[in-house]
A and B are shown apart, each in its own frame.
Chain A
Amino acid sequence: MSTAKDRAPGPAGSGLNDDIGEEKRLALYRSQVRLRDAEQRAFDLFLQNLVKGTSHLSLGQEAIAAGFAEAMVKGDLSFCTYRGHAHTLARGVPVEKVLGELMQKDNGLMRGKGGSMHLTSEKHGVMGSYAIIGAHLPIACGAAWRAQYRGDKDVSVCFFGDGTTNIGAFHEALNFAAVWKLPVVFVCENNLYMEYTPIKDVIPIPQPAADRASAYGLERILIDGNDADIVYRTAQKAFARARAGEGPSLIECLTYRHSGHSRADPAKYRPEGELEEWKKHDPVKLYRERLKQFGVSDAQIAEIDASVRKEVDDATEACKAAPSPPLDIITTDVYADGGWAWRN
């Protein structure tokens, strides 16, 4: 009987496990390249002064966004942070919508009313990007509570950084979710730094999330967050557990951001050689190699790269050409009646 493993096209004895399958593998690759290209473009656009305000890139962390988003199904909900471009794009939001918001144009996802830190696209399941550290963990619990209450099968997935494990809302949410057995998956992207301070300087244990899981009766899960296959498998397991009513998971993904914390940060606080070391374990590079091991041709890879590049190029042009938002939306949507009236 042939198993998935037997069918793996990798070299005999390579131990390549093909549980992911060709289609998903190509999707994971495409997604990571897309996140990389779109964010690199965002960075180029800052340098040209076309992206205004602040911006927090996930360059180097793409495997987490891609791996989780590819494991999610329609209806599953993402709760992101200010470092949320990648998670938003990974759920299928067009690059133009994200770049448009960063460039504060009328074609932006929220027409300039939210900005880079608050990307939201409910129709893609992106339930907001939150810029107050930890605030969205309890909110994700609430969405999961609704699913539990109504018997809906969707999972709420909440992404945050290593530094976020030190704020009260993290602990309140973990305890709450565990006690109520909510279908929520907490994903800690440990990129080794909060803003500028190394996480190891501000925690009394080695791993900020994994080493705290036991306090909430949860399994200790610590994975390589730069390997999209590992992320994808871990996500699937956690989602299955959530959908089965077995409660939350807390997953710590080890990763590294290639750029500074935000657009203003040159990241001078990093020890020499650290970035270079991590770049050897670049998720996009790693996954391109994986495709080749599985026999995907250079031409096929180049084709994916080119089609992604085209989306990013077209989006850039569309955003450059797009008008600024009209000023009459400044006072819309403060209240549900569409307006801002606080008195008669």
Chain B
Amino acid sequence: MSEPHDRSVVLSGVEHRFRARDGEVHALDRIDLALEPGEFLTLAGPSGCGKTTLLRLLAGFMEPSSGEITVGGRPVRGPGPERGVVFQQPTLFPWLDVRANVALGPRLRGAGKAERAATADRYLDLVGLHDVGHLRPYELSGGMQQRAQIARVLAADPDIVLMDEPYGALDALTRERLQDELLTLWRETGKTILFITHSVEEAVFLGTRVLVMSPRPGRIVLDEPARFSSDEAQVPPEELRALPAFTETVARVRGAIQHVEPPPRRAG
């Protein structure tokens, strides 16, 4: 199993170039970043700036062109169960029903039937899909598929959860409910979360740290602490979004994104 002690993630000098038909795409440019255990990082940036690329490198789906990524001090050589991934496009398995999809992580690690059922119940409940556990993924709407995927990742209990615009396709109500659920789960379990979003409000609302990336080649141009999600003072989300501190942070993050858009000329 994954080791619970050191699970900090460190990226040092990570660069990535894609070989494309018409030459190279310089997607990421020297990223230096450390994810502390238990942090909730949100990452925003214009589309095409390399957010997904960064997530795929962290997941171990590909190797950076240069630089190194370590998890708990060990270099990432491929995907691993300590790093769960919520893909932008849900990747549920159509040969399993929704319930079996959610229970797949425990099943792969050899959990018993009772444990698998209990885990599936718990996470299907969490994302509000209990009634459709017997359906196949293609019988669900896009938003339900995304919720099922989130349940599947959480049920596998990874220490680090990498989420690529997971709520992009959801309606506002579901989105807010799932934001709250994710925060509750994060507070309870102390997982490290990297959450990519194109919604500045969402980034500021969820993150303990908000990162903003520049257009291609992607660099981190803003790295700002945010405290709204960790506040123990139980401010209801609606009121929280009206707090001056919240709107100020939103303005600052939005400014950073607008500042880097359109792309500045690189000096030196």
Asked whether A and B interact, the reply is no
